[in-house]
Amino acid sequence: MAAGNIACIDIGSSKICTIIANVSDGRVIQILGVGHTASRGVQKGIIVDLDDATTAIKESLEKAESTAPKVEMALVGFSGKHVSSTNPMVSVDTRRRDHLVTDLAIREAERKIQAVVFPEGRVKVNIIKRQYAIDRVGGIRNPLGMHGFRLDLEAHIVTADLGYMENIAACLRRSGVGVTAGSFVANPLAAGEAVLEPEDKERGVMLADIGGGTTGIAVYRDGSIWHTSVLPVGGRQVTNDLAVGLSIPFSAAEELKVNCGSLYPEGVDISRSEIMEKYRTSPEELSYIIRARTEEILRMVLSKTPYVPNILVLTGGAAKVPGMEQFAREVLGLQVRVGTPVGLPQGANTLNDPAYAASVGLLLWGSEREAYAGSVDLGGGLKRFYSGLRAGWQAFWNRRPRIVFGEPTAQG
């Protein structure tokens, strides 16, 4: 990948973050601009007000562009309970007399994966090849040139609600941002890029990205993504519990949580005792309320995951609550760590925070892709869901997944 600038926009329920960076050869060389603003018009990952969401995106862009070039194209992270995934498998015969797996057979398997049909109103956003199998012997990463009668391909497909994708594309267009066939990445996948090591993915790991209104889940097996989903709960539910339990305004509950919150009474910052006195609470009461909702979220993560590895990595803003690692270990009985973004250049310390895992993950994702060029009108393109797929096939099956609704564009 040649050197160049990329932009990433993470559209969350609590904040919208734009990062502009210079990348070269799959590495982030320099952070050129960062802009984040409180999210508006987005609830639990769903856009509920186009005008408010567009305004918030514009504010984030303007802040990032104050020290960086203007954003014309961007990678976009999204979330919401409408995000789901599946792992279909397709089979093809090698057909040659010598039963050699050729590039033609591989492309035929890829076409079959691409043609997997989902219910009306669902669109394929990210497709990731997991593994191949030859004559039912799996775990093969590259089957080209191997011998066998039958080739199987298993892929991980992330789908989203068509209406949501139309709405988010509309907000981006109103903000002056172009989007391409490969612009969208589900936030759990992005967060995994930022906080997980290849060794984690090989031995099996579950990631929970606990944001303001949603919790993204990504489970990895045998080196690749195996399950992706999103729960409509997050840190805002903890704040709301404090507001209700202590009979205080939501803004006051957020101040209390951020400045004094802990999962253990002994972990409460006693230097902030005046804040607790102001809202007539104690370390014991504060931690009790936070523990109750946090335990519920953690158990929901476990219950919604079809495969549970021994390792859980927590990230997102809500993962920063003091005592989170210890509490999660006690509740779930798993190895737990709080993940912070890796792979950042010097001088990007402000982004070395679990709250920016998805944002940085988008940046790392983009830095490893080929440069993308050209824009597509997703509003009209969504109506032509299957058109242009053959023309964009080569771009579609590059290393990183691509969005498949709309008309794929040529890659630079």
Per-residue confidence in pLDDT tens, the chain, 412 aa: 345 888 999 999 999 999 999 988 778 889 999 999 999 999 998 999 999 999 999 999 999 999 998 988 899 999 999 999 999 999 999 877 788 999 999 999 999 999 999 999 999 999 999 999 999 998 899 999 999 999 999 999 999 999 999 999 999 999 999 887 678 999 999 999 999 999 999 999 999 999 999 999 999 999 999 999 999 999 999 999 999 999 999 999 999 999 999 999 988 877 778 888 888 999 999 999 999 999 999 999 999 998 899 999 999 999 999 999 999 999 999 999 999 998 888 878 889 999 999 999 998 888 876 433 322 333 333 333 333 333 333 333 333 333 444 333 333 3
User: In angstroms, how far is the first alpha carbon of the chain from the final one?
Assistant: 10
* Centroid of chain to Cα 32: 22
| Residue 100 in tokens | 């050699």
Cα separation, 318 vs 334, in Å, equals 19
Catalogue all structural domains in the chain, each as residue range(s) with its CATH number: 84-158 (3.30.1490.110), 235-338 (3.30.420.40)
User: What stretches of 333-402 show up as alpha helix (H) in DSSP?
Assistant: 357-367, 378-381, 393-396
Residue of 243, 247, 336, 322 lying closest to 287 (CA atoms): 322
| Residue 200 in tokens | 């984690």
Q: Which helix (H) or strand (E) holds 211?
A: none
Tell me what pLDDT residue 267 has. Answer: 81
Q: Which residues pair with 229 in a beta bridge?
A: 217
Q: Which helix (H) or strand (E) holds 150?
A: strand 150-161
Pairing, β 224-231 against β 215-221: antiparallel
Cα separation, 344 vs 177, in Å, equals 25
The answer to whether 38 and 15 are in contact (CB under 8 A) is yes
The answer for residues whose C-beta is within 8 angstroms of residue 227's C-beta and 6 or more apart is 85, 87, 217, 218, 219, 305, 306, 307
Residue of 70, 72, 34, 44 lying closest to 187 (CA atoms): 44
Handedness of CA 396, 402, 408, 410 (dihedral sign): negative
User: What stretches of 204-249 show up as alpha helix (H) in DSSP?
Assistant: 235-246
Q: What share of the chain is helix, strand, coil (3-state, %, to 5)?
A: 35, 30, 35
Tell me what pLDDT residue 397 has. Answer: 36
Tell me what pLDDT residue 296 has. Answer: 97
The answer for residues whose C-beta is within 8 angstroms of residue 249's C-beta and 6 or more apart is 243
Cα separation, 123 vs 152, in Å, equals 23
Tell me what pLDDT residue 181 has. Answer: 64
User: What stretches of 88-234 show up as alpha helix (H) in DSSP?
Assistant: 103-114, 162-174, 187-195, 198-203
Cα separation, 223 vs 170, in Å, equals 35
φ/ψ of 189, rounded to 5, equals -65, -40
